[in-house]
Structure 1
Amino acid sequence: MTRDRLPQRNAFWTLSLSLLLALLLLQTTTIPQRINFWLYDALITTAPLAADPNVAIVAIDEHSLDQLGRWPWPRRRHAELVRQLTAAGADAVVFDVLFPEPSADDLALADALRNHGRVVLPVHLSPPAEDDPIAEHLPTSRLAGAAAALGHAHVELDTDGLARGLYLYHGLGRSLWPSLALAAAQLQGQGPGPAPGDAGNAAPYVNVRAQFVAVPLAGGAGTFPTYSYADVLSQPPQPGRFQGKTVFVGATASGFGDILPTPFSSLARPMSGVEYHANSYSALTQDAMIHPVTELVPNLLCLLVLVGVALTLPRLRPAQTVAFTIALTAMLVGLFALFLLGPRLWLPVANSLLVPILAFPVWSARRLAMTNRFLNRQLDELGHSPQLSLSEPATRHPATLLDQLKALLAPDGWYLAHAEAPETLSAHNLDASQRPPLTAPGQWVHTNNQSWIRLVRGDQAFDLGLKLPENLGRGASQRYLRRLTLDPNYTPKPIAGPKENISARIERVRQATERMNTMQQFIRESFERMPDGVIVTDELGVIVFANGHIEEWFHEPRPSLDGLPLARLLQGHDPRDNPPWQETVSETLTQRQSRTVDLRVHGRDFLIHFAPFEIDDTAQNGIIANISDISELREQQRQHREAIDFISHDVRSPLVSQLALIEQLKRNPSEIQPEQLDQLGRLARRSYQLAEEFVQLARAEQLSETRFYECEFLAIVENARDSVSEQAFDKGIRLALQGSEDLWLNGNPELLERAVINLLTNAVQYSPASSVVTIQVFEAGHQACLTVSDEGCGIAPEELPHLFDRYRRQKSSELSGNRGAGLGLSFVHVVVEKHRGQIEVQSSVGHGSTFTIRLPVANPLPHGH
């Protein structure tokens, strides 16, 4: 099993059949249908259709009933309304008012209908009585003959009681009537064609409905401009309201009961039937009616989603499963919206949506069962995995502990004896009289350089004491002893068990894998803590592991190293052609022979050792590359060569000159001149000076903090000034010392004084006669500072970076005749570094130089310490 992926055998059939069964069970409920309705309502109300501006409503409202009297009104009043609308220029009039019984005013109304020429009257289908068959309720024959078209006024309510659509055609047998909105649209030459031809095969008494469409409403109640029936009658014709418009006439008063809950407001603010027909007409004129797709399409989509989910989920990890489920759900919702807003098709996606929603818990349960079985098979093998365990010091006998502590800490003395008996088991330079009170077993008691502990083993108690050496490591040793756990009654803090009710087998596997992880962590941390860089590659020479040294030395972040070919890494940092790195790596893998090669990266020298490896019982192999930093060794070799060159040239040259001069004097001993003796003395002094500088530099390089003690910095500077005062006096140079504060340091005063002398000597040497060398000693923060400023010729900018390199002479010094070995400033730099300080130089050609030394301050010892 790879990481957290599970075996996929039979997973497709198990998951698909489980999902199919769950879907079949859900079909017995209203859940899928409610999901489809909810999606439709959410989208329709979020993006409503724009209202047709050529639609208006004349409402039989409460105001009209108050003004015109109780319903029903005489039909001459409706005739007057039609004449008003005709005069106002209404293009078509659609009545949502039934006229099934004859009336004395039918002739007047028929004349008004015929005069307008584009009036649609409603047809209603319902049983005359409760047990009677359904029948058509048409307008009277006179009115029907005068109307331009007849249309049914039926609106369909879905199972949740909301009106979302209607049938475009409805009737009995072969007589199918278009809806009111369709009849009005057909007058305008719009809308679908005539009723389906197969309707003629039905019996005359059969209720036939055809071409269901969903109506995309333009909004809630009151979206279309609505005018009161009484106001239209009482006012002069108003072409501005009705010119060129299709006017729907119907009841909106609450007493009529002609109300329809819609997706916009449900029963909170239902819509009147006449306004619903106005919405239908508006959608028809914009060709925006929504047609349901055939049942085959959503079923095929559901089957496609089910197969895709069953094939995909077993290949995903748990986190990917959640993302896949969310993405698939969003895609199906997007597909629903695309069909509804694009080709105006209602694609029910509830069953398809239920597939990923159900698949997540079903597959999670399946994954848990598979995990349980897999863990059960692997439990015994994991239980016998190798583990790393270190024996506890608390279980060792005191005598063994003493031997091991002696080997580790090298104490000046020790003592081991029974706590209750006078018998001494081992003692040296320590006895029982020096033992402090020991009350708590397993806890160290430290007094000055002595450390004592009482150890309990079984029913016996032992007292163990150590006398540690008086050095800087004593405190660290005592802190280390305090961390040791030597009490056998100590028990590690128990690991909290699982809070969830999980399988005991899984808990055992967790413990086994924890032991394995501990081993792997130990190996990884061992690689990290190694002093050398370590790179592990696979069988193609691609890096799979690199420790922190590689990241630091190559300046490559750890993520960029993973997956990078080793040869490319080496070639990028140390290009070479003979032999190329690719050949070295390739031969290590193919010939399985170790190789050691020099490497230089970012100015540092390394030695890289290629060692092939192969894992037992597998075909896996690769390279372990061990990279050792030999920069310090190479630097020592370079310094050794420079020292040899220095001895062979700088020291040898004055000696050869001395020997030549002595031979000359020996040939003519009677003609020895004073200037020859002066020259011989200068050569001897130069040889001595070179040897002295060389010895002083060697001493500085071997300096360690064990030779440090408290010293006062101002006194050191004053002594150095006094040592150089004669040389300064000869050139007429004044040494001006500024500073009166005692600054205490931890350091080596002898070498510090020599370093200050070197700085002052250089300042005097490179300063013109009768100038001033300023010496300042002060404290800045927690640092003792010394500045030496001269008024000499200064140092060229290109020579400043190499000022402290040993055996390097400045060009200006050579030209001025101030020849040296190039060791003076190098000595100063080494001494300052050994004291954990810094040295800086500021120089301007022709204006002099300023050297600044900063050393950490130490608090002086209390008086009488």
Structure 2
Amino acid sequence: MRSSGLFPSRRLARWHLILPLTALLVLLTVTPATERLDLWLYDTLIQQSRLAPPDELVLVAIDEKSLDRLGRWPWPRQYHASLIDRLDQAGASTVAFDILFTEPSERGAQDRQLADAMKRHGDVVLPLHIYPSDDEQPLREFLPIASLTKAAGALGHVHVELDDDGIVRGFYRREGLGEAVWPSLADAVIQQSGMETQGSDTAAVAADAPFVNVRQNHVRIPFSGRAGRMPSVSYIDVLEGRVPPQKLRDKVVFVGITAAGFGDMLPTPVSGRTAPLSGVEFHANAFSAIAQDRVIQPVSGWASLLLGLFSVAIIGACFPRWRPMRTLALAAGLTLLPILVSYGLLRLQALWLTPGAPALTAALAFPLWTAQRLGLLNRFLNRQLHALGRERRITIGRLEDRAPAQLLDELQELLQASDSWLTSNHQPIRGQPPSGSDTLLPQKQAGKWHHEASRSRIRFFRNGYWHELGLVWTSEADAATVRPFLDSLHLHTGTTEPVIERSRERVSHHIEQVHNATLALAGMRRFIGSGFERMPDGVIVTDALGVIRYVNARIPEWFQLPRESLTGMPLQRLMISGSTEESRQPERIWRERILTILNERHEDVIDYWLRDRALLIHLAPFDLPEQRHPGLIVNLSDITNLRERQRQYREAIDFISHDVRSPLVSQLALLDQLRREDQPVAPETLDQIARLARRSYQLAEEFVQLARAEELTDKRFYDCELLTIAENAVDAVQEQALANQVRLELDGREDLWLSGNAELLERAVINLLTNAIQYSPGNTVVSVSVENAGQTGALSVTDQGPGIELEDQPMVFQRFRRQKGTEMGGPHGAGLGLAFVQTVAERHRGVVDLVSTPGRGSTFRLYLPLTEPD
């Protein structure tokens, strides 16, 4: 797997994780670092693995009741002799005392009495202890007195050591000075009773110096529970014969002190320090474990190490490939794995595997991996921040951050004010406030423009200073034009500067830097994305195979296709599907164009017709990020208006060269003829010259009126009344109507007000009436009606002429188009009259339509939006 300077390969990352985890595992295994953790885990698990005592075990407890009846401790040894006799009579198999008889009694007869009782029974086990006689003496073995030692069936040590945390969990099965010859009390009982167990202590006896306490075969005990869980009877009850013999028959009997304050009290994992076990209960639990082959043997540290290495191998294999939540779950599972294995071995095989080292290693894997990821992230952030710092940015800047002097210059350049001034804390910086402007604006109006006649000024706070900026206009009209724009500008930053607190912690500082860089990049992305989306041109971006990967909003709108369907479409398919039949090029031509651009990396420009839209397509190669091969960026410019203007320009040239020149040439020819003949001019000739002059004037007038209509804007609108406009138009064509023997009728009673240009509207109605009169037969009627059609006013002109053929109706409003049939035929007009009417209607946000039936006349209707008069 390859790696870059920023990201290590997966193999390298794996070893970066495995090596430190392995070193940590070995360190935890060979040192006592996890000892307390292992002890706590053992105590927790052993409480779930309690061992029920065997049926052959019974405890004779020297309890508070016995002490109350028999007096102060120590008791006379004749009591113990009597107890042994009672037990012998009841049929007890083996009797073990957890009572030290290391000193002879004051009465030697009692020692002999006890020894005789022990001999009569034959299976009495006595304890020995190994400890120093005082703090300055070496260790000594304290055996029972000689007579009792000879009478005892076996001896066993009762030496118990606490672990480092003060809890006793096990014992050494052999112990002794110089040689580990003494079995534990529990082992001695097992041997004396003749029990055969799989876990019998048959190990070789270790030897050392005679003053050294030699210990071997340390095991742990699965306790039966808290104090009092062992089957027991009271010492005094046995002594006085109140215990049924069958309860003691064939039993292994442990005799010892259980009363509080007497004898050894040992804290264990199941009892803690609050309710410790007595020594005799501890040894009884040891016997129970040995008799049932459930003593807990420690597993070699190599097994724990191998289990930890297994976990490390899984971590190294999975962590570099998995997501954080999965790695966290894996780390948690591998942390529990050694604990579960230890618990399983404890319950099933009576083995104890220390789980602390492998569990802690797995638990630390995720933090270590996270630290490595953070380190890698930190390095990545440093490099990316350094790279971002070298990137060139598009900085537009806010007006609130612009220097006041620069702001004044830019406003002056844009708005062309006749004069301007700028003050800072009442001191002039640029120009001088005109007279009458020396009164400062109040602070409550800060950030708001104050307009006075032909002056505009604003007060704002910037960088700790109050500034006032003023502009003077040439006229009231100029001031009225720029005031809405000025009111939309926000220049005031407030009277307090923001305090930016920056973190001194390195990672937090880097996160803050990345956050700021991300905001800047997001702003840049929005800027670029919004710019592409709002471009008047269409933009397409393809990959190296000419497949579309991005389009802006213009492309789906123009091609009438869903945006989602365009992504992934080959460019040539889109171009072929959208082109008209006349301009469609074969797929082979488009494919060759695209391949040529991609191979030779040169630009190409293509004229393209998309339905009724003329487009200019500019194809250019460009390098895609992280790509070896270039893609295409395609810019589609809508040049429909340009093509239409070119067409109109050509038609205007044709119109001027033919329609306008023709009557002028005829006039010049007639004048030349008159000059050559040198005769008085006949009235017919003068009429012909006048007719040609009027023809030229009419054509020029129509051309000029159309140009005025096309330049009409809202600024030239005012309130006007539609019925009055119709009346004036009717009056204007009355003479023409009388000459053609056509009667005009006007129907309208309601005043309809609209915002528009009455002069051009009247001219449009005159054009409609002139056409109607010109093409109406004599003795017919041209009707004009004005009515309210809801939110619009409708003005209609109806004639009784021959009508317009259906195939000619779609072209009647096109300029330089003349009807060659009945109604629109003849030599009159240049095809601009109805084009003028349509242009005037569109400039007034209205429409004009035609209803005509050949042979039955025509009706032109003009619909204009109505308003309330101011």
CA contact (8 A) 1:394 1:488 kept: no
CA contact (8 A) 1:417 1:462 kept: yes
Q: How does 1:136-285 map to 2 (within 5 A)?
A: none
Deviation, structure 1 residue 540: 2.1
Change (3 A) 1:702 1:6: farther
Matched residue type, 1:381: R
String of CA shifts for 1:94-144, please: whole Å, max 9, x gaps: xxxxxxxxxxxxxxxxxxxxxxxxxxxxxxxxxxxxxxxxxxxxxxxxxxx
Q: Distance in 2 between matches of 1:792 and 1:316?
A: 87
Corresponding residue SS for 1:821: coil
* 2:380 aligns with one of 364, 378, 381: 378
Aligned to 1:454: 459
Corresponding residue SS for 1:698: helix
Corresponding residue SS for 2:777: coil
Q: Distance in 1 between matches of 2:322 and 2:851?
A: 66
Residue 731 (structure 2) pairs with residue 731 (structure 1): no
Residue 562 (structure 2) pairs with residue 557 (structure 1): yes
Deviation, structure 1 residue 447: 5.1
Deviation, structure 1 residue 644: 1.3
Aligned to 2:143: none
CA contact (8 A) 2:572 2:587 kept: no
String of CA shifts for 1:436-487, please: whole Å, max 9, x gaps: 6554433333456643211334554232223456559946753554342332
Matched residue type, 1:851: F
CA contact (8 A) 2:803 2:822 kept: no
Q: Distance in 1 between matches of 2:815 and 2:588?
A: 35
Aligned to 1:821: 830
Change (3 A) 1:665 1:476: closer
Q: Distance in 2 between matches of 1:465 and 1:610?
A: 48
Change (3 A) 1:392 1:368: same
Change (3 A) 1:367 1:570: farther
Q: Distance in 1 between matches of 2:805 and 2:319?
A: 73
* 1:403 aligns with one of 396, 409, 414: 409
Matched residue type, 2:409: D
* 2:724 aligns with one of 693, 715, 719: 715
Q: How does 1:682-721 map to 2 (within 5 A)?
A: 682-721=691-730
Deviation, structure 1 residue 685: 2.0
Aligned to 1:792: 801
Corresponding residue SS for 1:804: coil
Unaligned 5+ segments in structure 2 are 19-40, 46-315, 327-363
CA contact (8 A) 1:435 1:465 kept: no
* 1:567 aligns with one of 572, 582, 585: 572
Deviation, structure 1 residue 503: 8.4
Deviation, structure 1 residue 628: 1.8
CA contact (8 A) 1:415 1:427 kept: yes
CA contact (8 A) 2:463 2:497 kept: no
Residue 397 (structure 2) pairs with residue 391 (structure 1): yes
Q: Distance in 2 between matches of 1:413 and 1:860?
A: 38
Q: Distance in 2 between matches of 1:807 and 1:710?
A: 32
Corresponding residue SS for 2:448: coil
Residue 552 (structure 2) pairs with residue 547 (structure 1): yes
Aligned to 1:529: 534
Q: Distance in 2 between matches of 1:512 and 1:761?
A: 70
Corresponding residue SS for 2:808: helix
Q: Distance in 2 between matches of 1:689 and 1:372?
A: 85
Unaligned 5+ segments in structure 1 are 16-24, 30-309, 322-361
CA contact (8 A) 2:448 2:459 kept: yes
CA contact (8 A) 1:388 1:518 kept: no
Corresponding residue SS for 1:809: coil
Change (3 A) 1:388 1:669: closer
Deviation, structure 1 residue 727: 0.9
Q: How does 1:11-30 map to 2 (within 5 A)?
A: none
Deviation, structure 1 residue 821: 0.9
Matched residue type, 2:415: L
TM-score in terms of structure 1 length:
0.53
Q: Distance in 1 between matches of 2:369 and 2:618?
A: 46
Q: Distance in 2 between matches of 1:782 and 1:639?
A: 34
Deviation, structure 1 residue 629: 1.7
* 2:666 aligns with one of 657, 666, 690: 657
Aligned to 1:348: none
Change (3 A) 1:412 1:815: closer
Corresponding residue SS for 2:585: coil
Deviation, structure 1 residue 645: 1.2
Matched residue type, 1:562: T
Give 1 or 2 for the bigger CA radius of gyration: 2
Q: Distance in 1 between matches of 2:857 and 2:439?
A: 64
Q: How does 1:382-531 map to 2 (within 5 A)?
A: 382-384=384-386, 385=388, 386=391, 388-418=394-424, 420=426, 423=428, 425-427=430-432, 431-432=436-437, 437=442, 439-446=444-451, 450-458=455-463, 460-467=465-472, 470-471=476-477, 474=480, 477-487=483-493, 489=495, 509-531=514-536
Q: Distance in 1 between matches of 2:747 and 2:366?
A: 82
Aligned to 2:285: none
String of CA shifts for 1:294-343, please: whole Å, max 9, x gaps: xxxxxxxxxxxxxxxx9999989999x9xxxxxxxxxxxxxxxxxxxxxx
Q: Distance in 2 between matches of 1:544 and 1:401?
A: 41
Q: Distance in 2 between matches of 1:363 and 1:856?
A: 78
CA contact (8 A) 1:443 1:482 kept: no
String of CA shifts for 1:340-398, please: whole Å, max 9, x gaps: xxxxxxxxxxxxxxxxxxxxxx9999998897566444222333424554434334443
Matched residue type, 1:379: L
Aligned to 1:128: none
CA contact (8 A) 2:448 2:487 kept: no
Residue 757 (structure 2) pairs with residue 752 (structure 1): no
Matched residue type, 1:539: A
Q: How does 1:609-620 map to 2 (within 5 A)?
A: 609-614=618-623, 619-620=628-629
Corresponding residue SS for 1:403: helix
Change (3 A) 1:551 1:513: same
Q: How does 1:323-334 map to 2 (within 5 A)?
A: none
Residue 687 (structure 2) pairs with residue 678 (structure 1): yes
Change (3 A) 1:371 1:477: farther
- The share of aligned pairs that are identical, in percent, is 46
Deviation, structure 1 residue 11: 11
Q: Distance in 2 between matches of 1:790 and 1:367?
A: 92
Residue 653 (structure 2) pairs with residue 647 (structure 1): no
Matched residue type, 1:594: E
Corresponding residue SS for 1:811: coil
Q: Distance in 1 between matches of 2:837 and 2:565?
A: 42
Q: Distance in 2 between matches of 1:766 and 1:312?
A: 93
CA contact (8 A) 1:842 1:850 kept: yes
Deviation, structure 1 residue 725: 0.9
CA contact (8 A) 1:537 1:622 kept: yes
Aligned to 2:850: 841
Q: Distance in 2 between matches of 1:537 and 1:438?
A: 56
CA contact (8 A) 1:700 1:831 kept: yes
Deviation, structure 1 residue 6: 13
Change (3 A) 1:655 1:408: closer
TM-score in terms of structure 2 length:
0.53
Deviation, structure 1 residue 419: 5.2
Change (3 A) 1:417 1:520: closer
